[in-house]
Amino acid sequence: MTAAVRSAGRCTLAGALAIVAAAHVGSPNVFYVGKAGAYDVTVIVRPPQVVPGLAEITVRIPDSQAHDVTRVVVRPVFWATGRRGSPAGDEAVRVAAPEPTYTGKLWFMQGGSYSVDVDIEGRRGHGTVTVPVAAVATGQLALSGVLKAILVVLGFLLFFGLLTIIRSAAGEGLVSPGDQASANRARQARLATAIAFPVLLLAVFGGWTWWTGEAAAYRRTLYRPLGVLATVTERAGAPVFHLEITDSSWLAGRITRIIPDHGKMMHLFLIDDSAQAAFAHLHPAMVDSNSFETTLPPLPAGRYRVYGDVVHESGFERTLVSTVDVPAAPASRAPTDSDDALALGAQPTALGGVADIGDGLRLTSALDAATLRAGQPVELSFQLVDAAGQPQPIDPYLGMPAHAVVNRRDGSVFIHLHPMGTVSTAAQQAFALRDRGDTIAGGRLDPVKVGALGTAMTMGAPNGRVRFVYEFPKSGAYRIWVQVKHGGKIQTGVFDAEVSSVVPSDR
């Protein structure tokens, strides 16, 4: 092993990671599956592409509770103001759908961390759930060629129309009805037109300069991932992974601090960049305010994609993205964290099939992969069974029945899923702490309360069945890793899926 192996990665996955959607890569929509009081709900939030902008909210309720719900209200809550400083909610409208579904639209007026609070009223009383959402500008809409042509034609018509008006106002407009304009009046009209021409050109140039300046200023507001530096060095004969945040915004203190989620400061995922045959779910320690470190497990040498999920005090969820070159490591090494997990060389199974995950266990997937369409919510269902097909219980793993990672093969999409959706429990609890007033000087959350964030949920699955609600953002080839814990051991199933483009008739 070399003494030091370094790789500086700043979102360089062949340009595939150019657009990162805050908490996840290339997958901006937010999903929550769980409870709002006594009501079972599925909440989907589609944030706006620009801010200020309108977010689209969908709230689904199971058929069994259809007659229990009388009113659904959705409300945007900005992290710095809390519920007390936020506008009143809007009543969602029930729409025609196979299951009871309510929709609404909410304005996100500034960039940053929001929550969509869903309040449900009905026969089972009042229930509320907080769904954290990152409100960031992620794109700029382009004019179509046809619209550009129309605007150019209208611009020419307006320009020469103004010249005609000025010429007439300085000429025939000053002549009494029925009289003929004198030669002197005609000269004055031509002179006024000649003066107006460069003035109008200057006005057009000024407008164009203003427009391009505003467009450039807007582009500077587009969300970009924090600059980070990922390296691997040898220390005491072991490869040590080091991730440092180098972004000036972070170093200047313009971003709120990182808080633990499920008791971990970071959930780090390393994925083999070539064949995606190696996968690691690690939990580095935060060694100082800018850096994370962990000893690497025995990964095959090569280049790896780096995805580090973190949560901020504001409730903003973020994925730090990089690449790193990993040297050959010793064949065996005790994990740095007892919750670290590694999957090497597993043969992927087509989604809808059965994955052999070792120790006589299998992970079945109940889904027809041929029905996958980009932009359409889908339920990914899995069950842990033994060799005889009998369901096996799933133990809690980091407070959840299971974890899933979805990665488009080109790296342009990455998301870390739980059965409760894409949201972080720590982000939900951060909003609750702030609303309760558990803060200290400067509006920071109480450090004592922060230490327990994201650790309250300890859910397993006695019947071995877990479900994830997700929406593939675009078509293409995807790899999915599903992690469950059984008998104290973390097992990983690997699945492949081919997602088709949305066909208009499918909607």
Under the banding of pLDDT at 50, 70 and 90, the label for residue 507 is very low
Q: Is the pLDDT of residue 238 over 80?
A: yes
Under the banding of pLDDT at 50, 70 and 90, the label for residue 182 is confident
Under the banding of pLDDT at 50, 70 and 90, the label for residue 95 is very high
The pTM assigned to this predicted structure is 0.83
For 262-293, letters b (16+ CB in 10 Å) and e give bbbbbbbbbbbbeebbbbbbbbbebeeeebbb
Closest-CA residue to 479 (of 424, 419, 422, 413): 413
CATH number of 1-22+228-345: 2.60.40
Q: Is the pLDDT of residue 283 over 70?
A: yes
- My answer on whether omega of the bond before 52 falls inside 30° of 0, hence cis, is yes
Of residues 458 and 150, more confidence is placed in 150
Give me the residue spans of the domains in the chain: 1-22+228-345, 30-135, 145-174+181-221, 347-420+457-507
- Give the mean pLDDT of the chain: 87
Fold match between domain 30-135 and domain 347-420+457-507: yes
* Predicted pLDDT of residue 406: 96
Q: Is the pLDDT of residue 506 over 70?
A: no
Closest-CA residue to 406 (of 427, 385, 378, 371): 378
CATH number of 30-135: 2.60.40.10
CATH number of 347-420+457-507: 2.60.40.1930
**Residue 107 has which token pair?**
């304005």
DSSP letter at 141 equals: P
- The tens digit of pLDDT for each residue in 313-364 reads 999 999 999 999 999 877 667 778 889 999 998 889 999 999 999 899 999 9
